[in-house]
C-alpha cells in the first residue's frame, strides 16, 4: 500500500491493485457479522487467537450489492471479517494473540491489544508489524467492560482513519464471569470516507457509515418482544461523532468508555435518554425495555450519517426541480442510509393491539406546513399551529415552527397538513407513542399498516397521549438535509396540568441550521432567528431554559450563559425530557455540550439586574450565535 500525501481524494486506485492480492486473482469475499460468535479458543483461562491481515472484497449493501476492496482482519484459516473478529472472554482471562501481516508492501500498526486495566501512568504503545512479519502479544483482561482494538496501514490516529484501512476494528468484550455473560448485541460503527468532515469540507463526496459492516437498509433487523430487557454495547470505531437516537422509547446508559477504560455507573447516575452522543473512539452500554409493539428505528442523528446516498456512500447529485423526496417510493428504505438499524417489537402472547384511539378529552390541533418563500433549491417552509378559528398568518421572519405546548396525560390529535410542493412527514422526537404515529414513512407501524408519507395537498393525523412532562422536538423525517434547514422543526413542550406553560419563565432555545450553506458554515439559528431575539428575565425568579439541538451537522455544540466574561450558574433539571434524580440536580457553571437530537433543561435564577448572554459555540470554540438576556 502506498503512502498518500493528500487526504482529500479516496485512493480507489489502491483498492483495485491492493496489497496482498496476487495479480490476476480476485480478492476473497469479506464476511460481515453481528459479533455473536467469539473468535479464538478459550481453555484453562487462556484465550489463544491467530489473526491475519489481508485484502478482500467487502459488500456493505448486502451480498448482491456493490463491493469495494478493503484491508481486513481475519482468523488464520478463516474468512476475513468486518467488523474484525470478536474477542469475548470472562474477566481474569489471559490472551495470547498472534498477528500476521500478509500485506506485502504495508506496515501494520495495531492499537488496543493491551491489558485492562491499563496501569496508572502508562500509555499503551501500539504494535508495529512489518510486511510479511508476525508478532505475538500477551495481555490480561481483568476488568469487565466494552473495549476494542484497531489497526492502520497508513500510520494515522483513529480520528483520521476513514479510508482503505477504516474497517480494521474489532470489539473486545470482558464479562464479569463466564456465568455472568448475557445475551446482548455488540454494535461496531465504521466509516469509509474520502475526507474527514470539517469546516472546509462540508460535503463529503464519499461517506459510507456502517453498523457491524452493513449500511441501512441492509443492517441487521432485530426482533424483540414487548417486555424484553434489551442490552446493546455501542463501539464507535469511526472518526466521527454519532448522536444515537432511539425512536419511541427511553434507554438507560449503564456505562461509557474510551476503549482503554469503561466506567460502569451506579443506578442513580445512569442517564435515561432517547439520544446518546457517542464520540469518536468512545463506547457505551445501554439497556431498554420495549413497551409497545411495532417497527422502531435506532439511528445516528447527524443528518449526513443517515440521509440518502448512492452506492458505497457516493453523494447523489441534488435535483433542481424541487422533487427532492420520493413521490411513490419508500422513504425509510430509499431515503435513508448509513447508521440506521430497525427493531421489530412483537406483542406479548395474548396481548391485543392497543392503539391510542379513544376520543375522550382529546385535544385537536392542526400543524400546517406551508411555503413561505425562498427558491426551488433553497426553499423556506413554515410550520404554524392552528387550534381554533382561522389559519394563522405565516411569520416570514422566523425559520422554525412555534413551540407546541401539550399537557401530560391529555390525549391529543395533531393533524399535519402538507401544503408544500414536496412530500413530508413529522417525527415526534422523544415522545412515547404508538409506532404508526412515529413519523417514519414506509416503516412506522406494524405488519401491512405502515405510516404513509404525507403527499403535497394531503394530511396525516398523529394521535398520542404524552406520558411525561419535558422538552421534546417535532421535525420532518423526509429529506432532512433539505427540509430541516427550510424550517420544518420546532420545540415540543409537555407540561403538567397544575404547572401550566408560562412564556415569561419557560424559555425554549431551539438551535437549528440556516438554509443557506454559506450562513450555516458560520452560524446557527436560535428559535428560527439570526440574530436571535432578546429575552427578558426577572431578578430572583427561576427561569427554565429548554435547550434543543436540531441542527443537521453540529453534534458538538456548546451552550454557555455569561455575565461579561464570567459564566453564571444554573441547575441541571432534565435530559431528553426525563427528570434528573434529586441528587443530580446540581448547581454548577452554565455550560453544556449538546449533540444533535438532545434536549437539556436548566434552571437559571438571575441574582441582579443587568445584561447576560446565552452563547452558542462550535466544537472549535467559535462563537456561532448569541441570545441577549436582559435581566430586570
With a pLDDT cut of 70, the percent of the chain lying above it is 91
Burial (0-12, 13-18, 19+ Cβ within 10 Å), 607: exposed
| Three cell numbers written together for 205 | 463526496
What's the pLDDT at 622? 97
Angle at 296 between CA 206 and CA 453, to 5 degrees: 75
Show the domains of the chain with their CATH numbers: 12-179 (2.60.40.420), 207-346 (2.60.40.420), 355-501 (2.60.40.420), 502-632 (2.60.40.420)
Question: H helices then E strands: how many in the chain?
Answer: 4, 48
Contact in structure between 626 and 613 (CB atoms under 8 Å): yes
What's the pLDDT at 350? 76
| Three cell numbers written together for 512 | 437549528
What's the pLDDT at 591? 97
CA pseudo-torsion sign 444, 450, 453, 454 = negative
Using the predicted structure, report yes or no on whether residue 605 has a pLDDT greater than 90. yes
What's the pLDDT at 177? 82
pTM of the model: 0.93
Using the predicted structure, report yes or no on whether residue 479 has a pLDDT greater than 80. yes
Contact in structure between 426 and 483 (CB atoms under 8 Å): no
Using the predicted structure, report yes or no on whether residue 161 has a pLDDT greater than 70. yes
Torsion of CA 110, 111, 112, 114, to 10 degrees: 80
Q: pLDDT tens, 123-146?
A: 899 999 999 999 999 999 999 999
Contact in structure between 72 and 56 (CB atoms under 8 Å): yes
Torsion of CA 501, 504, 506, 507, to 10 degrees: 130
What's the pLDDT at 323? 52
Using the predicted structure, report yes or no on whether residue 543 has a pLDDT greater than 60. yes
Greatest CA separation found in the chain? 79
Q: Count CB atoms within 10 A of the CB of residue 587.
A: 11
pLDDT band at 200 (very low <50, low <70, confident <90, very high): very low
Work out the average pLDDT over 194-223.
80
What are the residues whose beta carbons fall under 8 Å from the beta carbon of 310, sequence distance 6 or more?
Answer: 316
Burial (0-12, 13-18, 19+ Cβ within 10 Å), 125: exposed
Using the predicted structure, report yes or no on whether residue 202 has a pLDDT greater than 80. no
Q: How far apart are CA 27 and CA 48, in angstroms?
A: 27
Tell how far CA 28 is from the center of its chain: 32
What's the pLDDT at 19? 42
Lowest average pLDDT, out of 55-64, 212-221, 328-337, 387-396, goes to 328-337
Using the predicted structure, report yes or no on whether residue 203 has a pLDDT greater than 90. no
Position with higher pLDDT, 299 vs 268 = 299
Q: How far apart are CA 194 and CA 89, in angstroms?
A: 36
DSSP 45-85: TEEEEEEEEEEEEE-TT-TTS--EEEEEEEETTS-EEESEE
In this structure, are strands 230-236 and 185-193 parallel, antiparallel, or unpaired?
parallel
pLDDT band at 522 (very low <50, low <70, confident <90, very high): very high
The neighbouring-strand residues paired with 474 are 428, 490
DSSP 314-336: BPPPPPSSS--S-SSS-HHHHSB
| Three cell numbers written together for 384 | 404554524
Q: How far apart are CA 120 and CA 117, in angstroms?
A: 9
pLDDT band at 353 (very low <50, low <70, confident <90, very high): low
Using the predicted structure, report yes or no on whether residue 583 has a pLDDT greater than 80. yes
pLDDT band at 359 (very low <50, low <70, confident <90, very high): confident
Using the predicted structure, report yes or no on whether residue 326 has a pLDDT greater than 90. no
The neighbouring-strand residues paired with 41 are 48
Q: How far apart are CA 218 and CA 220, in angstroms?
A: 6
The helix or strand, by DSSP H or E, that contains position 518, with its residue range, turns out to be helix 517-520
Please provide the size of the chain in residues.
632
Work out the average pLDDT over 85-106.
97
Residue 624: cis peptide before it, omega within 30 degrees of 0? no
What's the pLDDT at 297? 98
Exposure string of 611-631, with b = 16+ CB inside 10 Å and e = fewer, is ebbbbbbbeeeeebbbbebeb
The helix or strand, by DSSP H or E, that contains position 482, with its residue range, turns out to be helix 480-483
What's the pLDDT at 27? 84
What's the pLDDT at 319? 56
Position with higher pLDDT, 319 vs 28 = 28
Q: pLDDT tens, 230-286?
A: 999 999 999 999 999 999 999 999 999 999 999 999 998 999 999 999 999 999 999
What's the pLDDT at 23? 52
The helix or strand, by DSSP H or E, that contains position 40, with its residue range, turns out to be none
Torsion of CA 50, 54, 60, 66, to 10 degrees: -150
Lowest average pLDDT, out of 344-358, 374-388, 577-591, goes to 344-358
Work out the average pLDDT over 50-65.
96
Amino acid at each position: 500500500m502506498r503512502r498518500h500525501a493528500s487526504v482529500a481524494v479516496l485512493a480507489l486506485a489502491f483498492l483495485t491493485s491492493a496489497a496482498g492480492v496476487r495479480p490476476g486473482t480476485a480478492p476473497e469475499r469479506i464476511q460481515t457479522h453481528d459479533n455473536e460468535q467469539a473468535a479464538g479458543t478459550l481453555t484453562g483461562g487462556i484465550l489463544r487467537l491467530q489473526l491475519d491481515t489481508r485484502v478482500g472484497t467487502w459488500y456493505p449493501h448486502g451480498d448482491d450489492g456493490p463491493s469495494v476492496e478493503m484491508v481486513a482482519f481475519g482468523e488464520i484459516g478463516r474468512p476475513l471479517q468486518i467488523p474484525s473478529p470478536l474477542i469475548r472472554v470472562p474477566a481474569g482471562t489471559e490472551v495470547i494473540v498472534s498477528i500476521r501481516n500478509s500485506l506485502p508492501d504495508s506496515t501494520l500498526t495495531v492499537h488496543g491489544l493491551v491489558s485492562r486495566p491499563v496501569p496508572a501512568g502508562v500509555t499503551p504503545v501500539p504494535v508495529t508489524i512489518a510486511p510479511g512479519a508476525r508478532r505475538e502479544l500477551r495481555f490480561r483482561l481483568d476488568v469487565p467492560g466494552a473495549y476494542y482494538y484497531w489497526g492502520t496501514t497508513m500510520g494515522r490516529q483513529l480520528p483520521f482513519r476513514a479510508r482503505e484501512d477504516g474497517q480494521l476494528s474489532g470489539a473486545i468484550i470482558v464479562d464479569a464471569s463466564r456465568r455472568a455473560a448475557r445475551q446482548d448485541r455488540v454494535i461496531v460503527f465504521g466509516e469509509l470516507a474520502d475526507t474527514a468532515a470539517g469546516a472546509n469540507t462540508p460535503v463529503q463526496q464519499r461517506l459510507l457509515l456502517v453498523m457491524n459492516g452493513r449500511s441501512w437498509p441492509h443492517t441487521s433487523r432485530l426482533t424483540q418482544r414487548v417486555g424484553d430487557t434489551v442490552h446493546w454495547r455501542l463501539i464507535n470505531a469511526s472518526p466521527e461523532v454519532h448522536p444515537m437516537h432511539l425512536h419511541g422509547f427511553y434507554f438507560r446508559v449503564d456505562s461509557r468508555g474510551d476503549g482503554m477504560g469503561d466506567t460502569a455507573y451506579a443506578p442513580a447516575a445512569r442517564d435515561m435518554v432517547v439520544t446518546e452522543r457517542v464520540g469518536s473512539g468512545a463506547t457505551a452500554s445501554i439497556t431498554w425495555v420495549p413497551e409497545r409493539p411495532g417497527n422502531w428505528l435506532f439511528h445516528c442523528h447527524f443528518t449526513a450519517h443517515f440521509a440518502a446516498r448512492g452506492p458505497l456512500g457516493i453523494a447523489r447529485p441534488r435535483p433542481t426541480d424541487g422533487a427532492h423526496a420520493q413521490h411513490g417510493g419508500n422513504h425509510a428504505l430509499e431515503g435513508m442510509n448509513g447508521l440506521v438499524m430497525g427493531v421489530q417489537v412483537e406483542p406479548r402472547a395474548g396481548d391485543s393491539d392497543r392503539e391510542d384511539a379513544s376520543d375522550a378529552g382529546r385535544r385537536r390541533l392542526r400543524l400546517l406546513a406551508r411555503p413561505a418563500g425562498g427558491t426551488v433549491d433553497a426553499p423556506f417552509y413554515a410550520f404554524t399551529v392552528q387550534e381554533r378559528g382561522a389559519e394563522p398568518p405565516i411569520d416570514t421572519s422566523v425559520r422554525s415552527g412555534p413551540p407546541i405546548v401539550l399537557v401530560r396525560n391529555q390525549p391529543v390529535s395533531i393533524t399535519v397538513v402538507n401544503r408544500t410542493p414536496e412530500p413530508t412527514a413529522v417525527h415526534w422526537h422523544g415522545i412515547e407513542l404508538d409506532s404508526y404515529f412515529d413519523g417514519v414513512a414506509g416503516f412506522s407501524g406494524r405488519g401491512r399498516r405502515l405510516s404513509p408519507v404525507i403527499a403535497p395537498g394531503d394530511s396525516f393525523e398523529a394521535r398520542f397521549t404524552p406520558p411525561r412532562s419535558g422538552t421534546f422536538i417535532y421535525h420532518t423525517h423526509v429529506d432532512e438535509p433539505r427540509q430541516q434547514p427550510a424550517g420544518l422543526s420546532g420545540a415540543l413542550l409537555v407540561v403538567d396540568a397544575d404547572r401550566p406553560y408560562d412564556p415569561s419563565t419557560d424559555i425554549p432555545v431551539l438551535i437549528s441550521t440556516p438554509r443557506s450553506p454559506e450562513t450555516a458554515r458560520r452560524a446557527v439559528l436560535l428559535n428560527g432567528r439570526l440574530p436571535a431575539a432578546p429575552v427578558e428575565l426577572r431578578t430572583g425568579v427561576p427561569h427554565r431554559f429548554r435547550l434543543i439541538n436540531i441542527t443537521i451537522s453540529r453534534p458538538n455544540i456548546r451552550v454557555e450563559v455569561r455575565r461579561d466574561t464570567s459564566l453564571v450558574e444554573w441547575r441541571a433539571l432534565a435530559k431528553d425530557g426525563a427528570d434528573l434524580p434529586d441528587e443530580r440536580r446540581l448547581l454548577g457553571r452554565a455550560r453544556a455540550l449538546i449533540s444533535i437530537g438532545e434536549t437539556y433543561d436548566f434552571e437559571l435564577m438571575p441574582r441582579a439586574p443587568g445584561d447576560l448572554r446565552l452563547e452558542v459555540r462550535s466544537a472549535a470554540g467559535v462563537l456561532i450565535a448569541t441570545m441577549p438576556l436582559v435581566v430586570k
